[in-house]
């Protein structure tokens, strides 16, 4: 099922999804041990006490930081209208925001990760589309070291945002003759929004209906 969407990610200096704080692993193991050894009838009370002891100050600091949002969209026709509405709302509540234009969801996640870790020992990379391509290409070359691939990989992009982005990524990847891979991109028409997912099987969205081999 497809939905018109704008992918938005709020970021902080310390992302909760991947803890990069100063808390040591051992300190959180102690908290886990306390919870594991608490009787069921005391669990709620113990949990509340631990939250007050360990997290209240950090949560307060998070809430006191200025809100910042980064977002991007895909190639659907509704995208520009959704972005306009989003910007209007963010401006109304005075939220700092960055529009990354047209990106894939993984590219936006990469940008957020880079922003979250800038000026830290865990800096992930440059928060730009080019930075994404360079990092992915470096990882690919490391993976392919000493290996060869015969033949061409055909990728059906279903006329979605992945088509032009994959083509751009290919500029950073070595060809099959140079120890990389040859990739043929098909169905990469993003000029006509109505072409999105056209002639794609409902049962298996990875393969076009008339393709007998990939």
Q: Where are the domains of the chain?
A: 1-127, 128-214
pLDDT in tens, the chain (214 residues): 333 445 555 443 333 334 444 444 566 788 888 888 888 888 888 888 888 887 777 667 666 777 789 999 999 888 999 999 999 999 998 889 999 999 999 999 999 999 999 999 999 999 999 999 999 999 999 998 888 888 999 999 998 999 999 999 999 999 988 889 999 999 888 877 777 777 665 444 444 444 444 4
DSSP string, 31-75: HHHHHHTS-GGGHHHHHHHHHHHHTHHHHHHHHHSPPEEEEEE-S
Give me the residue label for tokens 């509405």: 85
Classify 172 as helix, strand or coil: coil
Note the pLDDT of residue 125: 96
Note the pLDDT of residue 192: 75
Note the pLDDT of residue 21: 44
Return d(Cα 123, Cα 125) in angstroms, integer: 6
Residue 159 burial (10 A CB sphere; 0-12, 13-18, 19+): buried
Note the pLDDT of residue 15: 37
Residue from 173, 163, 161, 155 nearest 104 by CA? 161
Between vectors from CA 102 to CA 72 and to CA 122, what angle results, nearest 5°?
Answer: 55
- Asked if residues 144 and 181 have their Cβ atoms less than 8 Å apart, the reply is yes
Note the pLDDT of residue 201: 54
In this structure, what DSSP letter does residue 203 have? S
pTM exceeds 0.85: no
Residue 76 burial (CB count, 10 A): 20
């Amino acid at each position: 099922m497809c939905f018109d969407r704008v992918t938005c990610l709020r970021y902080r200096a310390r992302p909760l999804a991947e803890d990069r704080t100063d808390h040591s692993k051992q300190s959180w193991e102690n908290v886990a041990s306390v919870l594991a050894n608490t009787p069921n009838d005391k669990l709620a009370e113990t949990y509340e006490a631990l939250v007050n002891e360990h997290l209240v100050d950090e949560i307060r600091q998070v809430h006191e930081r200025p809100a910042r949002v980064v977002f991007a969209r895909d190639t659907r026709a509704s995208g520009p209208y959704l972005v306009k509405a989003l910007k209007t709302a963010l401006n109304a509540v005075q939220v700092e925001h960055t529009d990354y234009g047209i990106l894939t969801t993984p590219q936006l996640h990469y940008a957020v990760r880079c922003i979250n870790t800038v000026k830290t020992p865990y800096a992930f990379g440059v928060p730009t589309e080019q930075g994404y391509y360079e990092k992915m290409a470096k990882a690919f070359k490391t993976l392919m070291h000493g290996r060869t691939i015969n033949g061409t990989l055909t990728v059906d992009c279903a006329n979605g945002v992945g088509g032009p982005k994959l083509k751009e990524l290919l500029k950073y990847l070595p060809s099959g003759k140079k120890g990389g891979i040859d990739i043929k991109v098909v169905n990469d028409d993003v000029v006509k929004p109505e072409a999105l997912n056209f002639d794609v099987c409902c049962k298996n969205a990875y393969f076009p209906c008339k393709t007998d081999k990939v």
